[in-house]
Chains A and B, each alone.
Chain A
Amino acid sequence: MSNTVLICDDAIFMRTMVGDILQQAGFEIVGEAETGVQAVEKYKQLRPDLVTMDIVMPDMGGIDAVREITKFDPNAKVLMCSAMGQQALVVEAIQAGAKDFVVKPFQPSRVLEAVQRVLG
């Protein structure tokens, strides 16, 4: 059975791109979220094997969402998607429970490596 993924990003563009990368690698995209609040709700509902999480989102950012998700499921596997210049935020996200991170612009190979590490 393929691994299930929940993609959280406020940009459709990014969700599409991450979704394409993961889908081509055989993952099943079971849900998408545009806000942190949605991400938490959908995690509880869908219980995906993997979550990709943008940091800057409206209506609860990615870091708080990681915190909430980890509180709900300490074994949740969250991969942060960050941009250049966000090191402090990524560190905070990892302290909040995220397992790894990728940096935009995304390269499929890097995304998949990070995913493998997270699911490892």
Chain B
Amino acid sequence: MDSAQYAELFLTESREHVSAINHSLLELERGVGGDEPVGAIFRGVHTIKGMSATMGYTAVASLSHELETLLDVVRRGGSTVDARLMDLLFRAADLLERAIESAVSGVDAVDVLPMIHQLQSEAGRDSQTFLSMAMTAELPVPGMGMGMTAEMPIPGAWTAAVPAGPGMLVRVRIVEGTPLKGVRAFLAVEAAKKLGEVGEVSPPVEALQADAFDHDFALRLTTELSRDDVIAALRRAGDVDEVSADDAAVSAPLVEAPAPTKATNGSSGNGGNGATNGGAVRQQRSVRIDLRRLDNLMNLIGELVITRGRLVQLTGPVDDPALAETVAQTSRPVWQVFDRFPRLVRDAARSVGKPVEFTIEGKEVELDRSMLDEVGDPIVHLLRNAIDHGIESPEVRREQGKPESGRLTLSASRDRSAVAIRVTDDGRGIDREKVLQRAREHGLIDASKTELTDEELFRIISQAGFSTADKVTDLSGRGVGIDAVHNRVRSLGGSVDIRTAPGKGTTVTLRLPLTLAIVRSLLARIGDETYAIPMTHVSETVELHPQIMHTLKGREVLMIREQVLPLIRLRQLLHYEGDATRGLEQVVVVEMAERRAALVVDALIGQQEVVVKQFDGVQNGLTLFGGATILGDGAPALIIDVSSLL
């Protein structure tokens, strides 16, 4: 069979296991969950071992075998879980991950031998590598088990001692190189037991089970069956090379032999046979689908949504949950990305010598698959920033009366049709003075400015290359911080918001749309054109009555429930000539990350799901729009990028 076709499956599944292993290692280190973490790590490593051996990935198989052996020792309480052991396990897990990647890609071969030796000496065994036996089940297994390996057997010769006692002398030779030949021999003995009374077995069954024999064994069998029948029956035990049954040795009187027992297995009469399980077993099936197919499906669904829009215009509203379900299929729970962060935070915190308590909230919140892939890096940036710059050293924290361990929280929550991802630390907060000073040095702001609002602060630190770090560390401070995060998130149609308080900490919020492709939008008209405003950002609509309009510092504002909102006239912004023709203009209150504005349009048309088509190349001046869509009547509409207005 061509193993290559399984490589992708192997990689996906192994990655999941490595992620789970890391998760359990962290639990083990923290001492939570009792025996379960070790058991879980053991199972994960064991599964990887089986898969990699099947794939012929020797390095991965040997490494996981040794790791498994050590874990078994740990599981049985033979090794204390201390910092040194944890360090070894973490390093082994890292190497395992690299070995998996390199085995599949075929590049950067990883040398696993040093680690194998370390694992072996930790497990307290002499160096006997799995390498020789792991791959080719066809090869003989050298020196496994205990003793009895001294002499080379002469091919074809029976080596087992003749067992004493009455009955037919039966000799069985297991095919050389049979994996787990001891179990195979055990099966043959079991098969013999069904033929009659088995007397002495040589070597004894216990030795056979432990593989401590040289391919052949002998037993005494008292049976009524003929020699040929016995041979035929034992051959069927599988992997039997040769069977001999020696009638001449039959000296015991056959009459005393018990009747051959019927080949029933196990106990009968245990309740439950008759009672068929009437209750339906709930089946949960999952399938793995090629991403390209899924993307194609999404495109087709997009077309369907457009067509539905057309139909709705003709016939009235339709609400089809099946459509929402299909869209949901492209969503994935955030833990698929979040799960690797505890390990990352641990390592990062260690490398700067700051104890950090890391918690993750809202793991089950779902996000569009393609977005989930993209959002990992920005979150890594934020976590590293928090550890490197946000959280103070234990000494400083103690002086300030804070707990020595810094608190770092990553949370995901559903927020209407958006997902909010927050990274919160309880560190020193962003130093406004320092930002102000750097900003002046770089000429980013007016030199006379002495204070920064949150918005200004955010705008400055979002600029490419801006860093207040005194020194560049391994982790961050290279000036690829917030600006990279901001760009990435914006390209996904999301927004970034920062709240920081000196001495108390910083919260960075990433707000992402649930899906990239289909957005529920409010359609508004200006002149003859239709514009779509994503509902994610619409908080309410009101009519533009003159009595709610005011002027503040020379700017038009709107007063809604004692809130002052800046007024943005889309008509002016888009350079339309003249005024709205009939009736009252409408106001769409848009919000994003706690910022709000009042958007004035000519008229409102209604809500519709629109399929976002991204612009191929964004040119200057198009920042106002996040894409375009085709409406039900076939007319195009531009989608307004609310973040650019605020």
Contact = CB atoms under 8 A, between A and B. Distances in A.
Given A72-B273, A90-B180, A83 B49 contact: yes
B273 A13 contact: no
Interface stretch (B261-269, B338-346, B515-523): B261-269
Nearest to A97: B266
B338 to A, nearest CB: 21
A11 B55 CA distance: 14
Contacts of A3: none
5 contacts: A13-B6, A58-B40, A74-B265, A84-B179, A90-B183
Interface stretch (B129-137, B548-556, B570-578): B129-137
A21 interface: yes
Closest 9 CB pairs of A and B: A103-B179, A105-B54, A44-B277, A105-B53, A104-B50, A90-B183, A97-B266, A70-B266, A41-B281
Nearest to B45: A56
B183 A101 contact: yes
Contact of A94 (B13, B133, B190, B236): B190
Nearest to A32: B285
B644 to A, nearest CB: 44
A107 B183 CA distance: 18
A91 to B, nearest CB: 5
Interface string A3-38: 000000011111011001100000000000000000
B276 A107 contact: no
Contacts of B264: 74
Nearest to A107: B137
A1 to B, nearest CB: 20
B211 interface: yes
B183 A94 contact: yes
B6 A16 contact: yes
B186 A94 contact: yes
B154 to A, nearest CB: 26
Given A88-B209, A94-B183, A117-B236, A11 B51 contact: yes
A56 B46 contact: yes
Given A83-B53, A87-B210, A11 B273 contact: no
A110 B1 CA distance: 13
A87 B209 contact: yes
Interface in A22-79: 41-42, 44-45, 56-58, 70-75
A11 B180 contact: no
Interface of A: 10-14, 16-17, 20-21, 41-42, 44-45, 56-58, 70-75, 82-88, 90-91, 94, 97, 99-101, 103-108, 110, 113-114, 117, 120
Interface of B: 1, 6, 9-10, 13, 40, 42-43, 46-47, 49-51, 53-56, 65, 69, 130, 133-135, 137, 179-180, 182-183, 186-187, 190, 209-211, 236-238, 264-268, 270, 272-273, 276-277, 280-281, 288
Contacts of B135: 105
A14 B137 contact: no
Contacts of B40: 58
Given A45-B277, A105-B135, A87 B211 contact: yes
A65 B556 CA distance: 74
B266 A74 contact: yes
A108 B1 contact: yes
A90 B180 CA distance: 9
Given A11-B51, A14-B50, A84-B130, A91 B9 contact: no
A56 B1 contact: no
Given A14-B54, A101-B183, A105-B53, A117 B238 contact: yes
Contacts of A90: 180, 183
Given A11-B13, A45-B281, A104-B54, A21 B1 contact: yes
Contact of B180 (A12, A72, A103, A117): A103
B43 A105 contact: no
Given A94-B190, A104-B54, A84 B134 contact: yes
A103 B54 CA distance: 10
B265 A91 contact: no
Contacts of B288: 12
B265 A84 contact: no
A10 B211 CA distance: 27
B180 A101 contact: yes
A100 B187 CA distance: 8
A10 B6 contact: no
Nearest to B184: A101
B451 to A, nearest CB: 57
A84 B53 contact: yes
A110 B51 CA distance: 17
A94 B187 contact: yes
Given A17-B54, A117-B238, A103 B137 contact: yes
A42 B40 CA distance: 24
